[in-house]
Amino acid sequence: MDKDDENVKHFNPNGLLRTGICFGFRQIVIGTLLRVQFPSNASNEALHLAVTYADRFIWTQETNPLGYGSMAHGALWLAVKVLTPETPVTCPLMEAMTSGYLTVEEIEEWAEYLRLNLGPDLHYPTPHSYLDKFLKESCDLPAYHIKLIIRVCHYLLDLGLMEHDLGRRPAYLRCAGMIYFLRRLLRFTGHVLGGSPSQHEYTALSYWPLELERCSGCKEDENLKEVASTYGRLLEETKKYQQQCAQSPLVFMPIVEKYLDRVYGGVAAHPLVTDFELEKVMCPNEEE
């Protein structure tokens, strides 16, 4: 976790604007990465590592806004090569990334440029680095719901990519905050898995048990709650898709479509993540 804390020291809230890139354009580019990552079976961890590379580069370097998308695709290729060095250039991911205006040479050039600027150790922590460990400490979550819970975790973490400000938080805190929100969500919306709103399996679920506090190093403080609220707000935005609202934030569409796929059991349409009231889930006056 020390390296995790060290990495976020480079966070620059003005990095995007200094380069002439707006937050909305960053979201669009991340959406394009999602559209090539998912069908090519590149890992979710590679996607998150790529966004970490792209953000870190922008925090420390200036780049032409017109090259931002190319740089991000180079970051995804670099992430895949860091995690799975044996991946050949003739793979489904590279085929997907070069189906438009980008060439293999351009993507590889950006990947090498990022490697030289961000190295030497490119194994940056992401929330996925901690997910399995934190879930193993969640012994009070029943095994027969764990597949659903893991899918919701992946969904929430991908939504978190769209929030640039989360980059100032270390990956372990982002993962912990996501799980904290999920536990509150289960407590207030768990009746959709069986029971009634007043009496169901998760009615008395602890928000943040001691085992998770020890494992994550995160206390149930304002930092944890702020991160959790961010994930909750992002999930709240996706409800507009289910309601077919004209004001739906289209930048989230690649994530929603990914998690509507049968690979993830259509979890984006599951009532656990659509039939909730954020104010109740994150109510500060609720006593355990």
- CATH number for 99: 1.10.472.10
pLDDT (tens digit per residue) in 242-273: 776 556 568 899 999 999 999 999 999 999 99
Quick one: 196 and 80 in the same domain?
no
Residue 198 sits at φ, ψ, to 5 deg, of -95, -15
Alpha-carbon gap, residue 89 to 93, rounded angstroms: 9
Among 50, 83, 118, where does a domain finish?
118
Quick one: 145 and 179 in the same domain?
yes
At residue 286, the pLDDT reads 57
Quick one: 143 and 88 in the same domain?
no
Quick one: 132 and 275 in the same domain?
yes
Structure token pair of residue 239: 């409800």
Do residues 129 and 171 touch, judged by C-beta distance below 8 A? Answer: yes
Q: What average pLDDT does the segment 29-57 reach? A: 97
Count up the domains in the chain and report the number.
2
Residue 19 covered by a domain: yes
Query: Which domain does 71 fall in, by range?
Result: 2-118
Structure token pair of residue 115: 């490697």
pLDDT (tens digit per residue) in 57-107: 999 887 788 899 999 999 999 999 999 999 999 999 999 999 988 999 999
- H helix or E strand, kind and range, residue 23: helix 23-37
At residue 5, the pLDDT reads 84
Among 92, 118, 144, where does a domain finish?
118
Residue 123 covered by a domain: no
Among 78, 99, 118, where does a domain finish?
118
Quick one: 99 and 132 in the same domain?
no
Tell me the CA end-to-end span of the chain in Å, nearest whole number.
29
Alpha-carbon gap, residue 70 to 12, rounded angstroms: 21
pTM value is 0.95
At residue 8, the pLDDT reads 86
